[in-house]
Amino acid sequence: MTIMFNKHPRASPDNEPRTWRVRFSALDAGYPGRPVLRQLGADIPDLAMTALVGPNGSGKSTLLGVLAGVIRATSGQLRYAEGRPPAFVPQRGAVGDALPLTARQTVEMGRWGERGLWRRPTSYDRSVVDSAMERLGVAGLGARQLGELSGGQRQRVLIAQGLAQESDLLLLDEPTTGLDPEARERITALLTELVADGTTVVQATHDLTAARSADTCLLLSDGRLVAQGPPEHLLTPTALSRIWQPA
């Protein structure tokens, strides 16, 4: 497995404007005794929202984990254009309700990569956390226990944690799953705003409404790339029938 980092932000070796944020090829990844990704290759466009779309078991979450660095690919090449390490927002269910964390403490965890687990937060850390919580509309929830929040509130807190990492690459696993329509629309609008402000967003989703708000989609099936392109071309009944079989 080869990982490379481009030394020239926003530019290619030929001094042309950079068009990709992450590039990968021939990726294989999975779990002991269970391969998931098979020879996967694609570009994640820079300063855009990309949706990883496919049925359960298609490899969406595994690919997101590889891009985030929490799952190691067994072979292939993964290249990041210059920028900060990616910020990863897991599924809401991956964060235990039993942990005695307030909403603010949860967002503060996004600063651990900068200051470590045991160092006290600096005034700059507190400013970053304040800004992230205000941006996501959860500043008034800081003292509430994470497990007491509604699904939409909790998801916004987790995205605020991602923002607190100050990355220009935000990776989210099923950010709208299980939310009511109003909460889904609010999360989608927030992600669109982040892209407009200079963040590259990648979300794994089987929510086709959320996927249609993306700039580009990667359609996955059985760990392979079926197609890549704008949602209006890919999210059609004909294209989707190739990856979703009738029950």
Higher pLDDT, 191 or 245: 191
Tell me the per-residue pLDDT of 31-75, one tens digit each, with 9 for 90 and over.
999 999 999 999 999 999 999 999 989 999 999 999 999 999 999
Show the tokens assigned to 144: 């509430």
More confident residue, 77 or 2: 77
- Residue 62 resides in a domain: yes
Q: What is the share, in percent, of the chain residues with pLDDT greater than 70?
A: 89
Please report whether residue 216 resides in a domain. yes
Percent of the chain with pLDDT over 90: 70
Residue 10 is predicted with a pLDDT of 47
The answer to whether position 93 is within a domain reads no
The total domain count for the chain is 1
The mean pLDDT of 168-191, rounded to a whole number, is 92
Q: Give the model's pLDDT for residue 103.
A: 96
Asked if residue 205 has pLDDT above 50, the reply is yes
Q: Which domain holds residue 8?
A: 1-84+205-247
- The CATH number assigned to the domain holding 63 equals 3.40.50.300
CA dist., res. 73 & res. 37, Å (int): 9
Residue 52 is assigned to a structural domain of this protein: yes
Asked if 53 and 227 count as a contact pair (C-beta separation under 8 A), the reply is: no
Comparing 177 with 124, which gets the higher pLDDT? Answer: 124
* For range 196-208, the mean pLDDT: 94
Question: Per residue in 6-22, pLDDT tens?
Answer: 644 444 445 556 699 99
Query: Would 172 be classed as within a structural domain?
Result: no
Give residue 16's pLDDT. 54
* Residue 100 forms part of a structural domain: no
pLDDT tens string 97-128: 656 899 999 999 999 887 766 678 899 999 99
Q: What is the mean pLDDT of the chain?
A: 89
Q: Give the strand pairing for 87-89 and 169-173.
A: parallel
Model's pTM, two decimal places?
A: 0.89
Q: Is residue 41 part of a domain?
A: yes
